[in-house]
Amino acid sequence: MSLAKITQVSGRGVTVPGNDIDTDRIIPARFMKCVSFDGLGEFVFYDVRKDADGKDREHPLNDPRFRGATILISGVNFGCGSSREHAPQAIQKYGFRAIIAENFAEIFFGNSTTLGIPCVSASAEDIRKLSAAVEANPQTEIVVDVDAQQVRFGGQAIPVTIRSSARDALINGRWDAIGELIEGLPSVRQLATTLPYLAV
Amino acid sequence: MAKTLFQKVWDAHSVRRLANGQTQLLIGTHLIHEVTSPQAFGMLRDLKLKVSMPHRTFATVDHIVPTDVFAEPYADPLADAMIKELRKSCQEFGITFFDRATGKQGVVHIVGPEQGITQPGTTIACGDSHTSTHGAFGALAFGIGTSQVRDVLATQTMALGELKVRRINVTGKLQPGVYAKDVILHIIRTLGVNGGTGFAYEYGGEVFDRMSMEERMTVCNMSIEGGARVGYVNPDQTTFDYLKGRPYSPKGAAWDAAVERWKSFASDADAKYDDVVTIRAEEIAPTVTWGINPAQGISINENIPTPAGAKDANEKASIEEALAYMKLEAGAPIKGTKIDVAFIGSCTNGRLSDFQEVAKYVKGRKVAPGVKAIVVPGSQVVQEICKGLGLDKIFSDAGFEWREAGCSMCLAMNPDKLVGDQLCASSSNRNFKGRQGSPTGRTVLMSPVMVAAAAITGRIADAREVFGVSKN
Ligand code: SF4
């Protein structure tokens, strides 16, 4: 399986402020009643974007200035809670290509990487700078340079970090492990014979 | 060299190192359910792949099942499509499905242990974050996303980076009226919701040595709420006694060999840990959450935190956001807060011992007027045993609704939901905004006995006072 090498992602940004934004908030459980991920995009952050009657509330994703943004900016512990891949799937289907936050919950980070969504971490101070620039000019072009571990925007550059295994997987086009895992199948069968509980 | 259980099980299941430095890890047991697997089967079909070890894959249905009427088709066509899809995929790929008709259906993290599928020294994966529950048996049990469900279906392996290990000792003896749920809520409160990032939690110390398997499961279940990828307890005689005679446990000579093998996986006495935390059991009180993440907890006799008391701007913002959502007053006691709904169940606290313990106290008492109280056994097996013991009757006489097995109001993907901004005293594991089905619904997490005390008084209460348990 040949996958794109994701060395950098560029586009406009939008900040969804807050810490500990959990996957229940990213995609409420009732939208997980589906047998395919198609169509999840429109429900991203649904309960904070819409009121009880389904009308738009004040929310960055409803703000026309940020329409078409492809880079999501947020705070601490983004994506905590449920392991539902529906969350990064909804984010991706909505149109986001990268996420910049102070840090990420473990399973969310792994799920996102597997979908080819780079999740990079920046300091609170730098995220404030970036958000301020986006707020001041929503057209600001942001470059998330996964390879160089840097985010550039409006003439500024901030350092970001991404776990080395994820960086390697993204920039070398092996973020979806399935191909490599299949290659290992003969060794898997071998190892399985050493574990009595796997006997048929 | 001395090793932890984590390292031993990891080494025994490492297939090879992948190009990005992660490990291809063999997953011995794969548990699946209706919410996160249909898409994975779809991906498998797209890639024209087969299930690699169908005999090591076990399915159940839990999240979407109605707990009042079971007749199919379900009233909700989307839910109905999900169960049919799972049934079809299990048939197509030759996977054991604990469907309703088998009498073994239930929440996946309750079914695995009670069937004896969950065993020490094994690796387990499931497309559900509370897979950490199975760590109670000394297994490495990972909650995974759907793409990884696909990976495990197709190859019985997944790509994973090695974790650090934090040993959490709880020493001494728990006070009367303090439960396993309080232990884990206290740990999360102490270490934070992301304190466990990058770690496996190894729980030990006298308190864990004395705990039953069901109590250990309650603690391991919520490891994920503390940010840890997995949580486990070293296997011991309590573990073996629990497993003996279960449907999937080894039998005869194979049993003795298995026990010897299982023992060998326990952490060595002189194993080195990346971090060690020690908590004194005496410091743990009945704990309840007041906010919108599981670390926002306080003991029942403490006051709700104030933004002014926050240690930094981030925490201040979090407290303000939580108070606004929960409609609670900063600095006020949590005790006495009015509740609308009481829920006892979930993979955290939906096992036999949970219902037995609560039944002791609700017998002869009544749920407060205006409170909707529901009790949901975690599996059909738990349901049957409870009925045999007459517990269902004790609960219904007290005014609780006794339901059928499922996840129910833990995440409200079935018809059991909060309405408006109802406040629910809940024995489940997550108090996120909207978690229990209403975008403005409010959840207060606590032990099952504390939920019962809240149901009976109509307010968040100290169960020790309500039920006359001496504080010592
Ligand atoms: S009981 Fe709750 S936490 Fe457990 S598997 Fe079901 S929904 Fe998830």
Q: What ligand 1 atom has the least distance to the C-alpha of B350?
A: 1
Q: Is B462 in the pocket of ligand 1 (CB under 6 A)?
A: no
Q: What is the mean pLDDT of residues B229-258?
A: 97
Query: What tokens does B89 get?
Result: 């995929």
* Residue range of the domain that includes B314: 291-467
List pLDDT tens digits, range B76-89. Answer: 999 999 999 999 99
Average pLDDT, chain B: 96
B346 Cα to the center of ligand 1, angstroms: 6
Same domain, B161 and B298: no
Taking the C-alpha atoms of residue A110 and residue B113, their distance in angstroms, rounded to an integer, is: 27
| CATH assignment at residue B394 | 3.30.499.10
Q: How many domains does chain B have?
A: 2
The beta-carbon neighbor of B12 closest among A29, A103, A195 is A195
pLDDT at A200 over 80: no
**Chain B residues touching residue A176 (CB < 8 angstroms):** 147
- Which pLDDT score is estimated for A2? 75
Same domain, B200 and B307: no
Read off the pLDDT of residues B249-276 as tens digits, 9 standing for 90 and up: 999 999 999 999 999 999 999 999 999 9
User: Do residues B155 and B217 share a domain?
Assistant: yes
At residue B327, the 3 state secondary structure works out as coil
* Chain B CB within 8 Å of residue A37 CB: yes
Nearest residue (by CA) to ligand 1, atom 4, is B347
Write out the two tokens for B53. Answer: 């070890």
With a cut of 90, say whether residue B435 has pLDDT above it. Answer: yes
Q: Name, in order, each residue with C-beta under 8 angstroms of A72's C-beta and a sequence gap of 6 or more.
A: A13, A14, A16, A91, A96, A98, A99, A100
Asked whether residue B268 falls in the same domain as residue B313, the answer is: no
The reply to whether ligand 1 has any atom less than 6 angstroms from the CB of B412 is no
Q: What percent of chain A has pLDDT over 70?
A: 100
Is B286 a domain residue?
no
Under the banding of pLDDT at 50, 70 and 90, the label for residue B472 is low
Nearest to A188 among B21, B157, B321 (CB): B157
Cα dihedral: B109, B110, B112, B115 (round 10): 180
B264/B304 same-domain check? no
Please give the full DSSP string across B355-412, using - where no structure is assigned. Answer: HHHHHHHHTT--PPTT-EEEE--SBHHHHHHHHHTTHHHHHHHTTPEE--SS-GGGT-
A79-83, B7-11, B176-180, B185-189: segment of lowest average pLDDT: A79-83
| Among B275, B304, B332, residue at a domain's last position | B275
Residue B69: predicted pLDDT: 80
Q: Does ligand 1 have an atom closer than 6 angstroms to the CB of B114?
A: no
Residue written as token pair 């956001």: B321
Fill in the amino acid letter for B137.
F
Residue B168 has pLDDT above 90, yes or no: yes
Find the mean pLDDT for residues B211-227.
97
pLDDT, mean of residues B434-442: 95
Indicate if B71 and B216 belong to the same structural domain: yes
Domain limits, chain A:
8-175
Work out the average pLDDT over B446-450: 98
- Claim to verify: residue B233 and residue B299 sit in the same structural domain: no
Is residue B34 predicted with pLDDT exceeding 90?
yes
Residue A108 pLDDT > 80: yes
Q: Is B175 helix (H, G, I), strand (E, B) or coil?
A: coil
pLDDT tier at B228, thresholds 50, 70, 90 = very high
- Please tell me whether residues B352 and B250 are part of one structural domain: no
Which of B33, B43, B118, B147 should be substituted to probe chain A, the one whose Cβ sees the most A Cβ atoms within 10 Å? Answer: B147
pLDDT for B471: 65
Domain boundary among B241, B275, B309: B275
Q: Which of B249, B275, B301 is at the close of a domain?
A: B275
Confidence of residue A5 (pLDDT cuts 50, 70, 90): very high
Residue B4 has pLDDT above 70, yes or no: yes
pLDDT per residue over B50-71, tens digit each? 999 999 999 999 999 999 887 8
Percent of chain B with pLDDT over 90: 96
Query: In B, which residues are within 8 Å of A6 by CB distance?
Result: none
Amino acid type, B340: D
Regarding the beta carbon of B182 and ligand 1, being less than 6 Å apart is answered no
DSSP string, A123-174: -HHHHHHHHHHHHH-TT--EEEETTTTEEEETTEEEE-B--HHHHHHHHTT-
- Asked if pLDDT for residue A43 goes beyond 70, the answer is yes
**Does the C-beta of B217 come closer than 6 Å to ligand 1?**
no
Do B195 and B297 reside in the same domain of the chain? no
B62 lines ligand 1 (CB under 6 A): yes
Segment A34-58 mean pLDDT: 93
Percent of chain B clearing pLDDT 70 (strictly above): 100
Mark whether B250 and B315 lie in a shared domain: no
Residue B422 lies in a domain: yes
Pick the CATH number of A8-175 from 3.30.413.10, 3.40.30.10, 3.20.19.10, 3.40.50.80: 3.20.19.10
Best B52, B128, B157 residue to mutate vs chain A (most A CBs within 10 Å): B157
- Assess whether pLDDT exceeds 90 at residue B470: no
Same domain, B246 and B300: no
Q: Which residues contact A194 (CB under 8 A, 6 or more apart)?
A: B12
Please check whether residue A132 touches B, CB under 8 A: no
A-B C-beta contacts closer than 8 Å: 210
A149-184 pLDDT, tens digit each: 999 999 999 999 999 999 999 999 999 999 999 999
The answer, yes or no, to whether residue A1 has pLDDT greater than 80, is no
| CB atoms A103 and B24 under 8 Å | no
How distant is the Cα of A139 from the closest Cα of chain B, in angstroms? 28
* A128-146 tens-digit pLDDT: 999 999 999 999 999 999 9
The two three-digit tokens of residue B63, written as one number: 């999240």
